[in-house]
Amino acid sequence: MNKYEIIRKIENFAPVETAEAWDCVGFMVETKRENVYRIMVCLTVTDMVVAQARRQECDMIISHHPLFEVPISWADIDIYSAHTNLDKAKGGTTDTIIDALYLDDYKIEIEHEFLRMIDFKKDVSIDEFVEMFRGLSPNVRYINNKKVDSVRKVAFCAGSGSEFISEAKDLGADALVTGDLKFHTALDSDIVVVDMGHFESEIIIRPVLKNLVGEGIEVIYAEEKSPFIY
């Protein structure tokens, strides 16, 4: 399949013009090869992932996290990244967390740049709320500085989204679900914050990328894991 046809599908889903100005999206490495037959999908391109792609004879790597420096030794394989444009896309990175919870009854209250906010339509106890994320992230942690008993309106931001705590609160959220929560940020928060972990909150985007590639080409998931040991 022509690689540019594949990229067109991804960019129709997550337009590059919606990416943040500081972000580096698109081709990280673009070879002269036009047709690809096997693609590796990953969260982050590393030496280990590139080695896996070569061993499995992949022609291309599609990642979520971009590269700001590319080793010369990787110049023989196409590498394409969809980052903040994929975060903002409807059905993109943040929405996959909500989908993965398999909720019975809720409504999306707000779609606002990086944030999605849902209304559970009823109060959910803190214990029940946190337990929702155990299957997605076995090392989930949370803060509840105000000692609230329940939540109803919850904002979501995959990856590193703790900078949006105040914005989530201003939008009426009782809680924010994200990753990469820092100590002082946690200490100062007026709302409940669930930290799934950066890796755990974003790794579930890979099936979306696979579906965007479509049929007629083999897609392989890279073997990846969080760098943290618990």
Which comes out higher in pLDDT, residue 215 or 198? 198
What's the CATH number of domain 93-198, 3.40.50.1100, 3.40.1780.10, 3.40.1390.30, 3.40.640.10? Answer: 3.40.1390.30
How many residues would you count in the chain?
A: 230
What's the CA gap between 89 and 85, in Å, rounded? 6
Q: What is the mean pLDDT of residues 113-130?
A: 95
User: In this predicted model, what pLDDT tens digit does every residue of 50-76 receive, in sequence order?
Assistant: 999 999 999 999 999 999 899 999 999
Specify the CATH architecture of the domain 3-88+204-221.
3-Layer(aba) Sandwich (3.40)
Whether the per-residue pLDDT at 107 is higher than 80: the answer is no
What percent of the chain clears pLDDT 70, i.e. is strictly above it?
100
Confidence of residue 230 (pLDDT cuts 50, 70, 90): confident
| Per-residue model confidence as pLDDT tens digits over 134-159 | 999 988 999 999 999 999 999 999 99
Whole-number pLDDT of residue 27 = 98
pLDDT exceeds 80 at position 110:
no
pTM of the model: 0.94
Residue 105 has pLDDT above 90, yes or no: no
Q: What is the pLDDT of residue 208?
A: 98
Residue (of 25, 57, 68, 62) closest to 207 by Cα position: 62
- Mean pLDDT of the 25-47 span: 97
| Neighbour count for residue 206 (Cβ, 10 Å) | 20
Domain limits, the chain: 3-88+204-221, 93-198
Estimate the crossing angle of helix 3-13 against helix 206-213, to 10 degrees: 130
52, 47, 34: which is closest to 74 by C-alpha?
47
108 has a pLDDT exceeding 80: no
Q: At which residue do the structure tokens 């499995």 appear?
A: 56
Strand partners, 39: 60, 219
